[in-house]
Structures are given as C-alpha cells and as structure tokens.
Amino acid sequence: MTLSPVIRAPEAQTNGIVRDMTDLPDRFPILAGGIDPSHGFVHVREIDQPVEVFGMPVAQGVFVHADRHGATVIPQTVLPPLHDGLKTLIGSESTMPEPVQAGSADFAEFARLSTAFEDALT
C-alpha cells in the first residue's frame, strides 16, 4: 500500500527508485530516478527540499511535465500562455474526432475537418 492517499500527497518526486507501480493510485503523478523490483533501504530524509532527478533539478512548487518519454521543468512564466495554448489545442481537436469516430465522415468531409483543425491552431 502506498502512503500517498494517507498523507494527501498530490504527487511524488524522488531521485531514488520506486517499485510496485500498480499499487499507486490511478493517475498519481510520480517522477523518480528509476524503477526497481527489489526491496531497498527506503526512508524519508527530508520533505520539501530540492532534488535532482537524472540531472534535472526539481524544487517544491515547480511545474513538471513527465511521461514515458522523459521529463522537463516548465517555468512559471510559461504557464499562462501554455494554458491558453492548450485550451486552443483541445478546442480545435474536438472539431475532428467526433464525426470521424462516429463514422459519418467520408474522405471529402475528413479533408474539410482536417483543414478546419489546422486553421483553428493558427
């Protein structure tokens, strides 16, 4: 069992390793130095202190984007325009998938939707 729900942690960041990934709560973000199947000497030494994960400095309060391809720290100054850009992207994506997934779009309709999608991005 993970302690994250007990201590109400919204995420975890460590330069150490993690295991038992399937025991983590659904959609619980975690950034770690690696995954290892064995037990180790694991203990909390400090809380709310900067760490370094694969050479990337991570401090409390920073925004980290991480997925299976890697991780990056996103500066606070970038967050407002990033948010606006993501809203535009998500809105434009909705113009295409619904008709295509419903099977109601022939090739001509797909071409029109694709153009509308590209236009919405600019």
pLDDT 10s digits, 95-105: 666 777 777 77
Looking at the fold, whether 34 and 48 belong to one and the same domain comes out as yes
The answer on 101 and 69 residing in a single domain is no
Long-range CB pairs of 105-110, under 8 A, 24+ apart, other chains included:
none
Q: How far apart are CA 29 and CA 12, in angstroms?
A: 7
Q: How would you write 38-60 as a 3-class SS string?
A: CCCCCCCCCCCCCEEECCEEECC
Residue 47 lies in a domain: yes
19 annotated as ligand-binding = yes
Please give the residue that has the higher pLDDT: either 5 or 66. 66
Instruction: Decide if 3 is inside a domain.
Output: no
Residue 39 shares a structural domain with residue 66: yes
Identify whether residues 26 and 52 lie together within a single domain. yes
CA torsion sign for 24, 32, 49, 62 is negative
One domain, residues 90 and 45: no
- Same structural domain for residues 82 and 114? yes
Could you identify the residue written with the tokens 């535009």?
Answer: 88
Q: What pLDDT, in 10s, does the model give residues 9-18?
A: 677 778 888 8
Whether the per-residue pLDDT at 80 is higher than 90: the answer is yes
Domain with 52, as residue range(s), is: 12-74
Q: How many domains does the chain have?
A: 2
**Shared-domain flag, residues 65 and 83:** no
Residue 5 clears pLDDT 60, i.e. is over it: no
Average of per-residue pLDDT across 99-121: 78
Q: For residues 56 and 62, what is the distance between their CA atoms, to the nearest angstrom?
A: 12
Does one domain contain both 83 and 54?
A: no
Identify whether residues 112 and 92 lie together within a single domain.
Answer: yes
Confidence at residue 1, expressed as pLDDT on a 0 to 100 scale: 39
If asked whether residues 19 and 54 sit together in one domain, one would say: yes
Is residue 4 one of the residues assigned to a domain? Answer: no
As a whole number, the mean pLDDT across the chain is: 79
Residue 36 lies in a domain: yes
